[in-house]
Amino acid sequence: MRLIRARMMLAGGLMAVATAGAGVALAGPASAVSGPVVLVGCGGTGQVRPAGYDIGCMPSNELVTGLRWTSWRSAAFGSGVLKVNDCTPTCAQGTYVKYPILVVLWRARPWPRHPGREYFSRLTWIFTGQRPGHPPAAQTFVLPPSGHP
């Protein structure tokens, strides 16, 4: 029970940080940004409320799927499944193990070569149940504007 409470507090804290950062971004002129903030995918295209995301931008060993979004503004909140390849006996022959997660996209920044558009530059996932190996309960990734790490 304490673990669930700790995760909920962590999720609430991350959402507060993301929302506070979003408030700073909203303080600028309303006409400065046109259209919703995007998540830049591997092909360099901006996506709004995507159903999945490949964190490695190639046939990778970690994929986020089944994304359902509850909010998409200057920060985005949703849930989904992290699929991790167990690489047994090899990564080419491995199977994907599923882990439920909460997802927060945050820190909207100007999207280079797309005047007036912004992209999410941070992704945080929070494990809500079991997690692979020994990673922390929450992990944050820097997302490049090109979609490629």
pLDDT tens for 124-133 read: 999 999 998 8
Region 90-100: mean pLDDT is 93
Helices and strands (H and E) in the chain: how many: 1, 8
The predicted structure's pLDDT at residue 149: 66
Are 58 and 51 in contact by the 8 Å Cβ rule? The answer is no
Look at residue 37 and tell me whether its pLDDT is greater than 70. Answer: yes
Question: What are 94's two structure tokens?
Answer: 């491995």
For residue 79, the cross-strand partners are: 68, 102
Look at residue 23 and tell me whether its pLDDT is greater than 60. Answer: no
Radius of gyration of the chain (CA): 16
Q: What is the dihedral of CA 101, 117, 108, 134, to 10 degrees?
A: 30
The predicted structure's pLDDT at residue 39: 97
Look at residue 92 and tell me whether its pLDDT is greater than 50. Answer: yes
The predicted structure's pLDDT at residue 17: 46
Q: What is the mean pLDDT of the chain?
A: 83
For residue 69, give the amino acid letter.
Answer: W
147 — pLDDT class (breaks 50, 70, 90): confident
Region 80-86: mean pLDDT is 94
Q: What SS3 class is residue 144?
A: coil
Q: What SS3 class is residue 115?
A: coil
Q: What is the rounded distance in angstroms from the CA atom of residue 53 to the CA atom of residue 64? A: 5
pTM of the model: 0.77
Long-range pairs of 91-95 with CB within 8 A, sequence gap ≥ 24: 91/61, 94/61
